[in-house]
Structure 1
Amino acid sequence: MLNDQNGTQNLTTQIKDKEQELDKILECEETWWKQRSRELWLQHGDKNTKFFHMKANIRRSKNQIEKITDSQGHTHNDDDGIEKVLVNHFKTLFTKQDTQDITDTIQVVAGKINTNMYQELSKAFSKEEVFQAIKDMKALAAPG
């Protein structure tokens, strides 16, 4: 009976060892495939090749919004409807409800902001400023 237990423990240890070995091999294989894909991209990437166009088309199809549901539960699948839902969502998201006049804030920090600064802070954003701010954002970074 004691011999049986040792045999089972030995077998369990061997199984665990083989599982770890398999994990290492699979990790190496995954690394190889990642490196291979980078190599292919470097060789054929942005060179106006069939490979590049195939990758761009696949990415475009994945990035396309085919339909969207608005806050009332209505589904929109046309470009105009999708655009309106998105614009409305972000207007609501970035518009503070029950906003106070900026003069209340300025009174609290009196002496810190002069008249010229107040006028500069109070003016509306231009289209160009918004476009430039968007253009200056990093591709994969969150705003703010």
Structure 2
Amino acid sequence: MKGELESMKTNKVWDLVDLPSGHKAIGNKWILKVKRKSDGSIERHKARLVAKGFTQEAGIDYKETFSLVVKFTSIRLLLAIVARLDLELHQMDVKTAFLNGELNEEIYMEQPIGFVVKGQEKKICKLNRSIYGLKQSSRQWYLRFHK
């Protein structure tokens, strides 16, 4: 959890502010997973802070959610070409992909459960970047990646 919050701090995902009148703060939750090696032993414990995007309202909290996706048949075709021509294929993973998406809307979120800043308990997070769980996160990531 501390590692996840450190990534968010490094990427300046939010600022602590007072909730403006007329706005509501969405909630969040922690998703915890155990990552295992191929032999079944524990590799690491993973925590991800996720916004409760199901409480967002269309037209207010987000306008568009469409993001391009690839068809599985396209991936299979690409892999077949790589195998046939004996090429090398490199894969990349962006650990905190959605944190790179810049938000166009004003989104306010409650402070992360278990990590409320002492002395600022009444403040909420004004999101500067998208996080997992928001309706527009995948679109914002795609737009940033495309740009």
Place the TM-score, normalised by the shorter chain, in its bin.
under 0.3
Largest Rg, 1 or 2: 1
- Relative contact order: is structure 1 or structure 2 higher (C-alpha 8 Å, sep ≥ 6)? 2
More strand, by proportion: 2
More helix, by proportion: 1
